[in-house]
């Protein structure tokens, strides 16, 4: 029973599932910024850290280093000394996410930070990749 190519191709197309539109489930959280005098307050700091699945202290250490200022966490808020625009904080959150959250191999956010001796690794739960991220 010999079938021609066109018949087999048509049969293969009918067995394919319907195409679905790809929706990225991960978005970088938007920071709610307030300025009070010479201080900048991120009111949803804990929620941002929870959504990124990272320790708030790790995120705070990164932001204070990049902003070159002092900061502390009070409940779900973070207080930074100095005035910083929401665009600056947004850009820094994107940098943090790309470096410490998104897997460089499969580009998914399903990662965790793993420390071995003095080295930090970004280990992906989705693809199993393990990437060195250097010193924090």
- Tens digits of residue pLDDT in 75-121: 999 999 999 999 999 999 999 999 999 988 888 888 999 888 888 89
Q: What is the pLDDT of residue 116?
A: 87
Q: What is the pLDDT of residue 2?
A: 60
Q: What is the pLDDT of residue 28?
A: 83
Domains in the chain: how many in total? 2
Q: What is the pLDDT of residue 14?
A: 87
Q: Is 95 part of any domain?
A: yes
Q: Closest Cα partner for 84 from 96, 100, 69, 62? A: 69
Say if residues 52 and 59 touch (Cβ distance below 8 Å).
yes
pLDDT above 50 for 67 = yes
Number of continuous H segments (helices) and E segments (strands) in the chain: 4, 7
How deeply is 15 buried, as exposed, middle or buried, from its count of CB atoms within 10 A (0-12, 13-18, 19+)?
exposed
Tokens, residue 34: 């307030």
Q: What is the pLDDT of residue 24?
A: 58
Q: Is 116 part of any domain?
A: yes
What are the start-end ranges of the H helices in 1-132?
5-15, 45-52, 56-67, 86-100
Q: Is 7 part of any domain?
A: no
Q: What is the pLDDT of residue 82?
A: 93
CA 105/CA 120 separation, integer angstroms: 17
The structure's pTM equals 0.77
Domain that holds residue 57: 30-101
In tens, the pLDDT along 12-65 reads 888 877 665 555 577 888 999 999 889 999 999 999 999 999 999 999 999 999
Q: Is 11 part of any domain?
A: no
Segment 5-11 mean pLDDT: 87
Say if residues 61 and 25 touch (Cβ distance below 8 Å).
no
Tokens, residue 75: 């409940």
Please check whether residues 34 and 92 belong to one and the same domain.
yes
């Amino acid at each position: 029973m010999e079938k021609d190519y066109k018949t087999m191709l048509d049969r293969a197309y009918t067995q394919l599932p319907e195409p679905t539109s790809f929706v990225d489930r991960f978005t970088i959280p938007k920071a709610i910024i307030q300025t009070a005098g010479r201080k900048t307050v991120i009111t949803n700091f804990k929620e941002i850290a929870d959504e990124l699945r990272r320790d708030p202290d790790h995120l705070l250490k990164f932001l204070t280093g990049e902003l070159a200022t002092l900061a502390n966490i009070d409940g779900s808020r973070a207080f930074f000394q100095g005035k910083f625009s929401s665009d600056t904080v947004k850009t820094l959150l994107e940098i943090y996410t790309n470096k410490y959250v998104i897997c460089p191999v499969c580009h998914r956010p399903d990662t965790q930070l793993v420390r071995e001796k003095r080295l930090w690794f970004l280990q992906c739960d989705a693809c199993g990749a393990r990437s060195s991220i250097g010193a924090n």
